[in-house]
Amino acid sequence: MSIETLPRQRRVTSDGVHRSLGLIHGEVIMATGELHRGELAAVAELISDAPRIFLAGAGRSGLVLRMAAMRLMHLGLDVHVAGDTTTPAIRSGDLLIAASGSGTTSGVVKAASTAAAVGARIAAFTTDGASPLAARAEAVVIIPAARKADHGGNASRQYSGSLFEQVLLVATEALFQTLWEVDGTPAEELWLRHANIE
């Protein structure tokens, strides 16, 4: 059924878009307001101390972590995304940043297990502090959002984990901003590290 044939009450309107923007804005504001600043600071410290940083996430969470990897690369850090063909083996002392809303995503938990087995440090972003991912992590950031399969609308009215991914983006951007302010490198110098072949 095309939009032209939808009954009037089901057509897309600017009011509908306005309501959606308001819903998303309100939920992101509320959830980011509930983030524990000490948890984020602990991850920032791990990033500062790590010789190399690896990021692992699946699906949309993985896409957010790819954006975070780019920002950390802009700071001049040695950064790798799990699963890329050029990603080296993780070693003792390296840092794995992993994200899974449920904390049970098999590939992400396996990456954390591998990292732990070689003595790497682990930071996790999840909604569940009692999850297998959180249990493997030295630093855990709890994101107060619905899990992907939670369709009850209690933690979020958005669909399938959207709030988790949105807040994950804000949290990783806040980490970058904090680290950049400490680093003090001018934006013009960071820009020289930006990809110039795409």
Active site residues: 165
Strand pairing report for 139-142 and 53-57: unpaired
Phi then psi dihedrals of residue 126, to 5 deg: -160, 170
Cβ within 8 Å of residue 61, ≥6 positions away: 99, 100, 101, 105, 125, 161, 164, 165, 168
List the helix and strand counts (H, then E) for the chain.
7, 5
CA distance 105 to 103: 6
